[in-house]
Amino acid sequence: MIKNYIKIAFRNLIKNKGISFINITGLAIALAASILIFLYIRNELSYDMQHSKTDRIFRVLTIDKALGVSSNLVGITLPALGPAMKEEFPEVIESVRLSWNGKNLIDYNNKTLYTTDLIYAEPSLFKVFDFKLISGNENTALTKPNTAVVTKTAAEKIFGIENPIGKTLKVDNNTDVEVVGVLKDIPATSHLAMDVVISLLPVQGDSNYAQYLSSWGIISMTTYVLLNDPSSEKSVESKLKPLIRKNNVGKNFNVTLQPLKDVHLKSSDILFDEANKAKSDIGYIYSLFAVALFIIVIAAFNFMNLSTARAASRAKEVGLRKVIGAVRPQLISQYLGESLLISLIALIFALILVEVFAPAAGIEDSPLTNLSKNPQLILFLILGTIVIGILSGTYPAFVLSKFQPIKVLKGTIKASKSGVWLRRVLVILQYTTSIGMIICTYIVYQQLDYIRNKNAGYNREQVLTIDMNDNKLQQNK
């Protein structure tokens, strides 16, 4: 029986080529667009999840209550706070301080280039985060002043095929640092980007830098702490205010914790957040999710409208089937099966479209090339497609299956008022949703165009930005 249903389904698809093409194409494009959006959303939600202790890692933020400050959350904090938290709070297992320097001049054997993301960090970086060294020892890396680790990609750019371990780099024509490790390239889904990591420890005799690292009078250091349990967050936060007041920090300042999993998507209002690379906003994710749902709903409405509209053309088929003994559940199963078949064919074409357009959309992972890595995604796509097929075909299936054989064969069948009203409602919803999305897209385009073309009072093409990280340039400016 199932084999017979499949044969009939394919015959109907071939017989009604125009309708079938519109249904399959519409669903395929809608599914492809939605899949691309969901892949992007999944990528955004996966930031910093590669660390085994993600749920126990928190960033320390400063709350600045000073008048005239546009945002009271700051991504840096007091240099002395991290070590003090580890020492005085039993809930804090480890802390790590970072100082982001960004673009810096690197010199090796008269070969100069600029780093993209140079940071200074404490040795505990490897205890808090799961950044791995390809060569070198994670337990001893960065434990000495003027030592550094470089990422695999940076090492290839600086040293070529040479072994970088033990080599000396000159940073900003000023400081010599010894390379003690090669770091595995940082995942794209890490909010921390780094290509060269230099030890934050002061050299012997540098009392000024040592004093700076123990200072309670300046806000300048990116700090993370590792807690013994995620539930300790509130307990630690309650102790922060007494700690900083004990060390004479002004009443305009307070301190709070931010979970690592929130750093990428929930930091749009945080100032001095340079270490948080490519940060986004959770609001964008919600908006994109809504857009994906709207696209699928519009395609499903279109599918349902076309299927319902052509129900009358299949009335005689239904009448003959009932005359020779077909019961309503069998007819419902057949027409739902046809709807599912169209949806699954559309899914196949959608996956092909995703494979073609994923690179252009900036998405590295695609279903066709990552089936083994993402079985959950494929299962979700199949189940989602089945749900769309069932929802889209349910009403047409029930409309077709309830036709009475006598009226059908006499040619007196008429469209029911409920069916007409349903199609009208679906068409109105479809057009309303489409028009709404077009209007929103146009508004966003106009805003972006305004930002790009607004007269800033100067010719942007004739303005240059020059980094002054080179000490020689600074001395001769």
Radius of gyration of the chain (CA): 31
- Is residue 82 within 8 A of residue 97, CB to CB? The reply is yes
Q: Please say if the pLDDT value at position 326 is more than 70.
A: no
Q: Give the SS3 label for residue 203.
A: coil
Q: What span, in angstroms and rounded, lies between the C-alpha atoms of 55 and 50?
A: 11
pLDDT of residue 70: 58
Task: Find the mean pLDDT for residues 14-33.
Answer: 82
Identity (one letter) of the amino acid at 399?
V
> Which of 226-240, 303-317, 404-418 has the highest average model confidence (pLDDT)?
226-240
pLDDT of residue 408: 57
- Is residue 121 within 8 A of residue 181, CB to CB? The reply is no
Q: Please say if the pLDDT value at position 268 is more than 70.
A: yes
More confident residue, 372 or 325: 325
Mean pLDDT of the chain: 81
Nearest to 52 by CA among 133, 123, 130: 130
Split at pLDDT 50, 70, 90, the class of 409 is: low
pTM of the model: 0.80
Identify the residue whose tokens are 């009271």: 72
pLDDT of residue 234: 94
More confident residue, 338 or 470: 338
Give the pLDDT confidence of 423-467 residue by residue, as tens digits: 566 667 666 766 776 777 777 667 767 666 666 666 666 676 665
Give the pLDDT confidence of 74-100 residue by residue, as tens digits: 999 999 999 999 999 999 999 999 999
Q: What span, in angstroms and rounded, lies between the C-alpha atoms of 451 and 446?
A: 9
More confident residue, 397 or 474: 397
Split at pLDDT 50, 70, 90, the class of 353 is: confident
Split at pLDDT 50, 70, 90, the class of 400 is: low
Task: Find the mean pLDDT for residues 270-298.
Answer: 86
β-bridge mates for residue 95, sequence order = 225
How do beta strands 147-151 and 196-199 pair?
antiparallel
Least confident of 13-17, 62-66, 123-127: 13-17
Least confident of 132-136, 230-234, 332-336, 413-417: 413-417
Q: Which residues contact 172 (CB under 8 A, 6 or more apart)?
A: 104, 105, 469, 470, 471
How do beta strands 92-102 and 196-199 pair?
unpaired
pLDDT of residue 363: 65
Give the pLDDT confidence of 155-177 residue by residue, as tens digits: 999 988 889 999 999 988 888 99
pLDDT of residue 126: 94
Q: What span, in angstroms and rounded, lies between the C-alpha atoms of 383 and 388?
A: 9
pLDDT of residue 338: 79
Nearest to 142 by CA among 154, 133, 130, 134: 133
Phi and psi at 271, nearest 5°, equal -90, 165
Q: Please say if the pLDDT value at position 378 is more than 80.
A: no
β-bridge mates for residue 168, sequence order = 178
pLDDT of residue 305: 74
Task: Find the mean pLDDT for residues 383-405.
Answer: 73
Q: Which residues contact 412 (CB under 8 A, 6 or more apart)?
A: none
pLDDT of residue 460: 63
Task: Find the mean pLDDT for residues 393-410.
Answer: 66
Identity (one letter) of the amino acid at 173?
N
Identify the residue whose tokens are 């009932």: 322
pLDDT of residue 221: 93
pLDDT of residue 410: 59
Q: What span, in angstroms and rounded, lies between the C-alpha atoms of 183 and 136?
A: 9
Q: Please say if the pLDDT value at position 312 is more than 70.
A: no
More confident residue, 132 or 333: 132
Q: What are all long-range contacts of 399-405, with beta carbons under 8 Å and residues at least 24 apart?
A: 399/308, 399/311, 400/311, 400/314, 400/315, 400/318, 400/331, 400/335, 401/318, 401/328, 401/331, 401/332, 401/335, 402/328, 403/315, 403/318, 403/319, 403/322, 404/319, 405/318, 405/319, 405/320, 405/322, 405/323
Q: What span, in angstroms and rounded, lies between the C-alpha atoms of 471 and 105?
A: 10
Q: What span, in angstroms and rounded, lies between the C-alpha atoms of 117 and 100?
A: 7
pLDDT of residue 102: 81
Chain centroid to Cα 292, Å, comes to 15
Give percent of the chain with pLDDT exceeding 90.
Answer: 33
